[in-house]
Structure 1
Amino acid sequence: MAPAAALLLACAVAALACLALADPPASEQTALLAFLAAVPHERKLGWSASTPACAWVGVTCDAANSTVVKLRLPGIGLVGPILPGTLGRLANLQVLSLRANRVSGTIPDDLLRLSALRSLFLQDNAVSGAIPPGVSGLAALERLVLSHNNLSGPIPFALGGLAALRALRLDGNWLSGKIPSIANPGLRAFNVSNNMLNGSIPRALSRFPTDTFAGNLQLCGTPLPPCSPFFPSPAPGMGPSDGAPGGTGRKKKKLSTAAIVGIIVAAVAVALLLLLLAIVFCCKKRARRGARMEGPKGTAAAVGQTGTTRPPAASGEGTGTASSPKDDAGTSGAVAAAGGGTGETSRLVFVGKSAGYSFDLEDLLRASAEVLGKGSAGTSYKAVLEEGTTVVVKRLKEVAVAQREFEAHMEAVGGVEHRNLLPVHAYYFSKDEKLLVYDYLPAGSLSAMLHSQSSPSLLQPKLYCIA
């Protein structure tokens, strides 16, 4: 029995060693490196062929580290189009998020051949052209978020055939034509506001609120005002042959000259009014688009900014019921109350050895949070990001210091390394708000460790670094 047990143990150790050394196929690693090399980016990611692809920033593999299943690169300053033959070679990709960058060009056709793709988040970019009809090939697609881009043309009827679709956000584009009937009962989040759509709203989509369709001047029907044609339709039973020889003998009703003139005058007046409203709307929309493109790093969404005409994505990557992934826009917690409403555009600055973190200020503002405690320097919040990372955000109060001095102090504090100090990973500075980001230690605060009656084994030598 002893030799058999030893053999079994050796096999188990060998299997674990093979699992630890597993890595995606070379073709997937090559595809990722080709994508990064072809698209300029402002934030360094540290991808290298000498390290396993599953350990790269923004890359997530399956449990066996045998293939790439998620790629999340939000707000890292990507500029330019997605070249065909790069991301389209990740055959098992399930989630692709490139939101809040400056991605341009059209959607590559090879992305639409990823049969395992469940979530595609490209909002707040400069993607142009039409939505390809080939989107019907994404049979597993659950969330499609293309808000705030430069897409034009009609909404493909092929979207109605995606049985797994749960969230569809196309707001803030230049889409035109009629809205196709998407009768999928599982659709929980839908938004086509601020486009150039026309016609009546399909009955299958009338269950969504009014703001879902707002900003389309030629849309009508529930939940918007009812459609009212300029000319009356024929009465029931009246056909073109009614009253004609060989017909039923009924007399054709004729409109008087005064009624015809009145209808023509009313139609001309309404047409002029619609034309004027369309011109005003287009001017305002272009102004809003120009203001959004002047945000930080050219991204379309200015974090913490108030008074915008288009709300930030509240669904999609964070749409409706699909709010569990990192890129979903969940409800703002206490951290959002700390960082929002300043009316200023700024960004989260990482210090020290924290450049590898993949979250940004928008992720903090959308994180669920709870108050850990209040002190003389400010209030601390425990923020759980949508990707699962937990950090502590300290909101400083009554800190009167110049930005240059504050930044220099943060850079100095971020470079301090000591086993008994918990370093600052990032900070945010604006006129009204100063935020510090630390790692979260589940054992509690220093005060609780010093004064509580808990077991000494819970004490840890980590202390918060007082900035």
Structure 2
Amino acid sequence: MAALPTLLLLALALAITTTNAAAQPTPPQRERLALQAFLAGTPHERSLGWNAPSAPSPCLWFGVVCDASNATVVAVRLPGVGLVGALPASTLGNLRGLRTLSLRSNRLSGPIPADLLALPALRSLYLQGNRLSGRLPGDLPSSLHHLSLSGNELDGEIPESLDGLLELRSLRLDGNKFSGALPSLSALRRLEVFNVSYNRLNGSIPSSLGSRFPRESFAGNLQLCGEPLDRPCDESPSPGVVIPPPVPGNTKKRRLSGAGVTAIAVGAGAGALFALVLFVLCFVHRRRRRDANTNNKMPTPTPTRGFTPSTAPTSGDMGDITSSSKEIAAAAAAAASGGGESQRSRLVFVGNTHKDGYGFDLEDLLRASAEVLGKGGGGTSYKAVLEDGTTTVVVKRLKDVAAGRREFAAAVEALGGVEHRNLLPVRGYYFSKDEKLLIADHLPDGSLSAALHGSRGSGQTPMGWAARVQAALCAARGVAHLHAAHGLAHGNIKSSNLLLRPRQGDPDAAALLSDYGLQQLFAPPPPSARGGGYRAPELVDPRRPTPQSDVYSLGVLFLEILTGRSPAAAALDLPRWVQSVVREEWTAEVFDPELVRMGSGGGAGEEEEMVALLQVAMACAATAPDARPEAPEVVRMLEEIGGGSGSHGHGRATGEVEEEDRPWGTPPAGATP
């Protein structure tokens, strides 16, 4: 009899539970069917577990979020879950209460369904990192706060109707094929994040946008001009402007007679003959004056301090400052005593160097003190402190240069025109028969290689995770700019060529790539030269780098950041090693023990970012070149890991944008493929 009250209590509890479950609101059947139709119409690589018995309500499904009363679906977040193909119409467009939709980093293609863009409550739409095509409709919901469509294949003009989305906080359209003029968007007072880089836009940048956003927001549009780009708008007509034809009736007045044409031809011939005679006289005069100067030339005085001229370079030790001075002094002394060669060989500045305060000459380099910074395959780099004590530069003494004077000068002049916050500017060069020098800025914080590998066992604090992610993002941005804005391949991406800046400066310029675009100048490597390291497997001749080989090198650089292992180590194929460890022991064994040991308080979020960067690195280091992402796409993936400018960057909008800082989605443990 004692058991009877217990059974009654259990039955009562069961009845109460059943009653509460029945009273609990659930989304309408229409929304459930819409979600199931979307999943059935979109091929996907992983099961999401939406039909699992443990999740009877859509509010319990992976990636689906309902409102507080579980009455309607308000968010669908399925980033990076392997969705493939076209977005089916009449599916997600039936979720009338949907506020946030995130399908980023999948492989969706085709146009964006019109009913999806007509959702009345939609506030945040994240479709970046797919293969969507077609035009961007002009009738977007006025409720939008965040629109991110970067990294797709959308084309056509950017609609003027975007100026009516008064609540818009962030607009990302970069990395598409948009063309035409850029709308002013002057009414978007709340816009905080804006990017249309790497499209096909033309014309002038509206002042309402150029005064609010940095140049990176507009980079990669070769026909776009005006502030903040260093490309002034000229007076020539923009593409699409029709030049009016000549006014009828004036044609005869402009037509020249036969006699007039003959007179012009005779005059041009006489002028050319006169110019030729004048050139010959000037050449003879300069030749005689040069011979006289050579016969009366005084011996070169010996400097009183710093460099000691030497007739031959001294090999020297890495830490021997005296021998370092002798090595670089040999190059400078050659110009001071080179006879006829010295008349043509001089220190030449390129780009905007003179505007930045560079005014020294070869004699100043001759008197400077120097020390070796490092030696690589392209030559030796020196830190040179000029005699005034206020100017410090890096002088790279190149070796095995096969290019002639004109080819060398043209290549370096082109590099002098490259300007980007993540690329070390080339300041000048010197070319003679025996010596070739490059001049660049000196960054006192050293390289990523020294930060990663130099502190081990020395008691110094290892490089933290936030700084590593920022360095990776800076490297990717520099490479993307070379590829998109200049059509150049870097060709020599490695951690020793990624130089660090003081951390109190601009976080987006925390690291700069150096030694870019130089490979074409060198002689062919010997047949016995070993590949591997950072070099892509398909790159037989290092003088012919490609954008795909640069992306491979970026992938290896990211793996070095994650693992703490140097690809330059003998017999270490870093991508293959990582693949083997992940396959056998999973990812925890891949990461740098010093990084894991620091544990900088990032917790699970930091671990997720490390896994996300590992995925990006392995995609970049794919064996097949066609399987690798393009550099702008790599930038976008890294920005997603770190929220736009690294984990502690700036420039991101508030609210729903922070949700997009998360890495790719992972289905729940109960979902099986």
> What's the TM-score once normalised by structure 2's chain length?
0.36
1:165 equivalent in structure 2 = 168
Name the SS of the counterpart of 2:115 in structure 1. Answer: helix
Amino acid at match of 2:85: G
> Which of 39, 43, 57 is the matching residue for 1:40?
43
Distance, in Å, in 2 between the alignment partners of 1:340 and 1:100 is 24
> Which of 187, 196, 199 is the matching residue for 1:195?
199
1:228 equivalent in structure 2 = 234
> Which of 124, 140, 145 is the matching residue for 2:143?
140
The within-5 A match list for 1:249-398 is 307=476, 309-310=479-480, 341-342=561-562, 378-380=597-599, 382-383=601-602
1:205 equivalent in structure 2 = 209
Q: Which has the higher strand share?
A: 1
Name the SS of the counterpart of 1:80 in structure 2. Answer: strand
Distance, in Å, in 2 between the alignment partners of 1:140 and 1:199 is 30
1:438 equivalent in structure 2 = none
1:358-409 Cα distance to aligned partner (Å, 9 max, x none): xx99xxx9xxxxxxxx999844354467xxxx6867999xxxxxxxxxxxxx
Runs (4 or more) in structure 1 with deviation over 2 Å come to 13-22, 304-311, 337-351, 374-385, 390-396
Conserved? CA contact 1:172–1:310, under 8 Å: no
1:318 equivalent in structure 2 = none
Distance, in Å, in 2 between the alignment partners of 1:350 and 1:111 is 40
**Residues 344 and 128 of structure 1: is their aligned pair in 2 closer, same or farther, counting only changes over 3 Å?**
farther
Conserved? CA contact 2:150–2:172, under 8 Å: yes
1:56 counterpart = 2:40: no
1:258-279 Cα distance to aligned partner (Å, 9 max, x none): xxx9xxxxxxxxxxxxxxx9xx
> Which of 182, 186, 192 is the matching residue for 2:190?
186
**Residues 20 and 152 of structure 1: is their aligned pair in 2 closer, same or farther, counting only changes over 3 Å?**
same
Conserved? CA contact 1:102–1:126, under 8 Å: yes
Amino acid at match of 1:147: S
Amino acid at match of 2:197: S
1:88 counterpart = 2:85: no
1:116 equivalent in structure 2 = 121
- Give me the identity figure in percent: 46
Distance, in Å, in 2 between the alignment partners of 1:167 and 1:196 is 21
- 1:217 is displaced (CA, Å) by 0.8
**Residues 395 and 102 of structure 1: is their aligned pair in 2 closer, same or farther, counting only changes over 3 Å?**
closer
Amino acid at match of 1:214: A
Cα RMSD for the two superposed structures? 4.4
**Residues 68 and 213 of structure 1: is their aligned pair in 2 closer, same or farther, counting only changes over 3 Å?**
same
2:102 equivalent in structure 1 = 97
Q: Which has the higher helix share?
A: 2
Q: Which runs of 5+ in 1 are unaligned?
A: 1-9, 232-256, 262-276, 278-303, 312-330, 332-336, 352-359, 366-373, 397-467
Conserved? CA contact 1:380–1:393, under 8 Å: no
Q: Which has the higher contact order (CA 8 A, sep 6+)?
A: 2
Name the SS of the counterpart of 2:139 in structure 1. Answer: helix
Count of residue pairs the alignment pairs up: 271
1:26 counterpart = 2:32: no
Conserved? CA contact 1:42–1:77, under 8 Å: yes
- 1:172 is displaced (CA, Å) by 0.5
**Residues 340 and 40 of structure 1: is their aligned pair in 2 closer, same or farther, counting only changes over 3 Å?**
farther
Q: Which runs of 5+ in 2 are unaligned?
A: 1-12, 238-263, 269-413, 415-471, 482-507, 509-556, 563-573, 612-673
- 1:350 is displaced (CA, Å) by 12
**Residues 217 and 37 of structure 1: is their aligned pair in 2 closer, same or farther, counting only changes over 3 Å?**
same
> Which of 112, 121, 130 is the matching residue for 1:125?
130
Name the SS of the counterpart of 1:29 in structure 2. Answer: helix
Distance, in Å, in 2 between the alignment partners of 1:87 and 1:392 is 32
Which protein shows a greater Rg?
2
Distance, in Å, in 2 between the alignment partners of 1:394 and 1:177 is 37
Amino acid at match of 2:234: S
Distance, in Å, in 2 between the alignment partners of 1:197 and 1:168 is 16
Amino acid at match of 1:17: N
- 1:149 is displaced (CA, Å) by 0.4
Amino acid at match of 1:46: G
Distance, in Å, in 2 between the alignment partners of 1:377 and 1:144 is 36
Amino acid at match of 1:228: D
1:69-97 Cα distance to aligned partner (Å, 9 max, x none): 01000101000111111000000000000
